[in-house]
Structures are given as structure tokens and as C-alpha cells.
Amino acid sequence: MARVGIIGHGVVGSGVADILWNSAEVLERRAGEKVELRRVCDLRDFPAAPYAARFTKDAALVCEAPDIDIVVECMGGKGAAYRFVKAALENGKHVVTSNKELIADCGTELEGIAAQKGVCLRYEASCGGGIPVIKPIEEDLAANRLTRVAGILNGTTNYILTRMREGGVSFDAALKEAQQKGYAEADPSADILGWDARRKICILAHAAFGTPLSDAAVRTEGIDRLTREDMLYARELGRSVKLLAEAERTPQGWRASVAPAMLPDTHPLACVSDVFNAVLVHGDKVDDVMFYGRGAGASPTASAVCGDVLDIVRCPKKRGARPEGADLPALPSFTRELRLFVRVRRARGAETEARVLAAFPGARLVQIEGEAFADEFAFVTALGQEDALLSAAESLAADLPCGAPIRYLTL
């Protein structure tokens, strides 16, 4: 019998408890043995829960008790969650978590403890909610040398960008809709500024390349400076704007970044809309593989957590080592060769065009017909070094009123 304790009975924790309690027979058939919900820790009382007798307010009864084999952490954040997860691992418990902030910041230390104690630390639900991606990268694609991971990793921002493009609404209006539907928090900073996607791409790079679990090397731009007009220009160019998280491994090292990008409408990631997420992985043998589905929500995330629990029950031994990437140097973000899209909020004329072309020789100018766009235009730069192009765009913005630069990619 595998005995499970849960810390945190919020949206995800209650979903996990519900599956363990109400789908016990299904889990037992899949696991080959009984999986029992032994204890749930939360500071609140839930007298109506069918497993109310299993509640405790003492986390030590989960992290240290000899009658718990697997600890599921569903608190979120790094403070108490870090202490409890570390204590559980040090006490020889397997741990499952969906806490991307914890893993992105403290995962290297926690994986080291798990290895020393001969137990498992699983976090499939930390990236992509219910989309299975970490385990397929580690196991099903293990025969490949993986060199690239790119994806749409945040459902909130993808919903906002979809509404701006398809609904023609402003950023503020789309954000308000997302909050009303429960897709965005009252403070949406982690989503719209790219922090959530940054943590996830850090974790995916670790799974794919073996790089350290630290998101400090991942530079990030969010979607807070994008406008409805940017979406209209993208449509004119046959493209879609996405908040793209990318990581690549090169002979010189690895790099990762998060920033808005214009992708061709024919690209698989451009077709991912609403709150859906997708991850594209490139391997030397399999070429491109894409994982797609709902990236958040109580049920999908709880499903992924319980999948990790079953994985531990069936295979409690430590998995093989990840790729040898721990010593790979982290290359600076925003240093690729690419093009930029920039919107100029001034009427197109000889003098204005000359300023643009002086800053960006070879730029392609774009004009949308219609009175609403009579006093502005846009341009797509020639190929150049990303950071140099961004610097030139910043200098041009000091001379002309410009919108936020958007990467113009082909992938």
C-alpha cells in the first residue's frame, strides 16, 4: 500500500484529494496496489469533505510521520513550501509538487537531497498543468539529443492575446475579461510580465538539457506593452503574436528567454489560442514533437499530480541521470539573429522614413489602409543581432513615438 499525505487543500490540493478519495479503485488498478489518502494538512477546517477525519493542522504529521510514503505539496510559494518539501525529503519521503516557483528557484538543492535519500522528487504539473511534457522529455525522448524547447507556457497571456487579435479589444479590456473568468489573478503580474513562463522554461530546459534549476539567467519581457493595433499589423502580415518561451542548447552553452513574438500563422504554435498551452521540442532523431492541452486549472493540474504519484508507486527507484548540462555556461539572453517588428505612431513621410531607415538599413515598411492608420506605420527590420536591434529600437523611440518591439520569427 502507498500512503499519501497532502499539504495544502486549495484549488489543486482539493482536486488531488478528490481523485485519491473518489477514484481509489481506478488508481489501484493502474498502480498495482492500493493508493490511500492518509492525511491532509491545512490551517482551515473542511468539515463537509468526505475525508474530513483525515485533516490535520500539523505539517509534521505529513512530513515526518512514518505512516506517510508520498508527500504532495500544493501550497505554492517558496517559504513554508520549501521547508516542508525539504523536511519530507530528508525524512525519506517521496515528494510530488506542482510548485513551479519552488522548483525553478530551489529545485537543484531539493533534487540533490532526493538523490542522497534515494527518493523521488516529481513535478510534472509545474509545467503545462495537465499536459504531460516533463516525463516524455526525460523518458520517451531519451534516445535524442535535445537542442531546443519552445512554447506557449502561460494560458492567461495566451487568452489575452487571443482576445486582442480575434475580439479586437484592448489589452486592459482583455485582462479584465481574463480576471472575470478566473484565468488571471487580481494581481496578474506573474503572468503578464512573463515571470510564470520564465520559471516554466527554466524547468523544461533542465529536463531537456540538464541545465541548473535557476531562472536568474532567463531574461524576460511580458505582454503589458502590446496593443490591439499590434495584433492588426500581425494579421496584415499573416502572423500571430504569442508570448514565447524558448531555450536552446548550443556547443557554446545554453540560453533561454521569454518575450512576445510574431509567428507565421502556419506555424503550429501560432494556432494555439485561448487558454491552451503548447510545447515544441526538437531532438536530433525525432525532429519536432509538440505537446498541447490546457495549461492550468484545478482538474488538469490535479490529474498531472496524481500521475506523478502513480509513477512513484510503480517505479519508486531513482530515474537515470539527466543530460550532462549542469556545467554548460549560460549564454546571454536576447543575442540571437532575428528580425524585429516595430510600430511607429507618426504619419509616414519622407523625413520619418529616412529616420527609420537610418536606424535600420534595409527595413521593410508596412502600412495598413484605412483612416484609423493614416497617422502611423510599422516596419520589419533586416536580420540582425537581437540585443543590437533592441538597442537601436530604444534609441529610435527617443526620437520617434514607437511601440514595443516584437520579435519577428520563423522558428
**Candidates 78, 86, 100, 200; catalytic one:** 200
β-pairing, 287-294 with 276-283?
Answer: antiparallel
DSSP reduced 3-state for 314: helix
R_g of the chain computed on alpha carbons: 23
Greatest C-alpha distance within the chain: 78
Count CA atoms within 13 Å of residue 213 on its CB side.
Answer: 20
78 is catalytic: no
Q: What single-letter amino acid sits at 241?
A: V
Task: Find the distance separating the first CA and the last CA of the chain, reported in whole Å.
Answer: 48
Q: What is the length of the chain?
A: 411
Residue ranges with strand state E in 265-299 = 276-283, 287-294
> CA torsion, points 307, 311, 314, 318, in degrees to nearest 10?
-170
- Whole-angstrom Cα distance, residue 9 to residue 302? 12
β-pairing, 35-41 with 364-366?
Answer: unpaired
- Whole-angstrom Cα distance, residue 230 to residue 387? 21
Query: Residues with catalytic annotation?
Result: 200
